[in-house]
C-alpha cells in the first residue's frame, strides 16, 4: 500500500512510485526524495543512467549523501568522506552497504521502487 502520496505503477511485479520529472535530475548531480526523516532516497544521474540509494550515510546516520561528491559510479559523503557504490550501495573499505532501489525512467518521468520503512540498525540496541 502506497502511503507516500506519490502516483504508483506496477512493472514486472514491482511497485514503483512516480517521484520526479526527468528534467529535474541533472548529469553528475542528485535529487533527494524525502518520504520521512528516516526514509530518504537520493537519485543520481551518471553517464545518463539513474541510480537510487538511501540518502542516509551509514557512518554518522546523516541525511547528506545527495550533497556528496559524485565520481564515476560512486558518491563520497560530504561529512566524513565515506565512499559508496551507486550500483550496489557497498561502502569502500567496509562490509556495510546502503540500501539501493530499483529505478525506472519512462516518457520524461522517474519512478523508484516503493520503499518500505525499516528500523535503522543503530536503533536495534535501544
Which pLDDT score, from 0 to 100, does residue 93 have?
81
Which pLDDT score, from 0 to 100, does residue 50 have?
98
Which pLDDT score, from 0 to 100, does residue 27 have?
94
Nearest partner of 98 among 71, 70, 59, judged by Cα: 59
Which pLDDT score, from 0 to 100, does residue 4 have?
74
Q: What is the pTM of this model?
A: 0.88
Beta strands in the chain (DSSP E): 8-11, 14-21, 30-36, 39-46, 49-54, 69-71, 74-76, 83-85, 100-101, 103-106, 109-113
Cell readout for 111 is 519512478
Q: How many CB atoms lie within 10 A of CB 91?
A: 18
Q: Say whether pLDDT at 119 is over 90.
A: no
Amino acid at each position: 500500500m502506497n502511503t507516500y502520496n506519490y502516483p504508483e505503477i506496477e512493472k514486472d511485479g514491482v511497485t514503483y512510485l512516480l517521484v520526479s520529472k526527468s528534467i529535474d535530475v541533472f548529469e553528475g548531480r542528485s535529487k533527494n526524495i524525502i518520504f520521512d526523516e528516516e526514509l530518504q532516497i537520493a537519485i543520481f544521474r551518471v553517464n545518463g543512467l539513474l541510480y537510487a540509494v538511501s540518502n542516509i550515510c551509514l557512518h554518522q546516520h546523516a541525511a547528506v549523501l545527495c550533497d556528496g561528491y559524485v565520481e564515476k559510479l560512486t558518491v563520497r559523503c560530504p561529512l566524513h568522506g565515506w565512499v559508496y557504490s551507486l550500483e550496489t550501495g557497498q561502502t569502500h573499505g567496509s562490509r556495510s552497504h546502503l540500501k539501493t532501489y530499483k529505478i525506472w525512467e519512462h516518457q520524461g518521468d522517474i519512478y523508484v521502487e516503493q520503499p518500505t520503512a525499516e528500523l535503522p540498525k543503530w536503533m536495534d540496541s535501544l
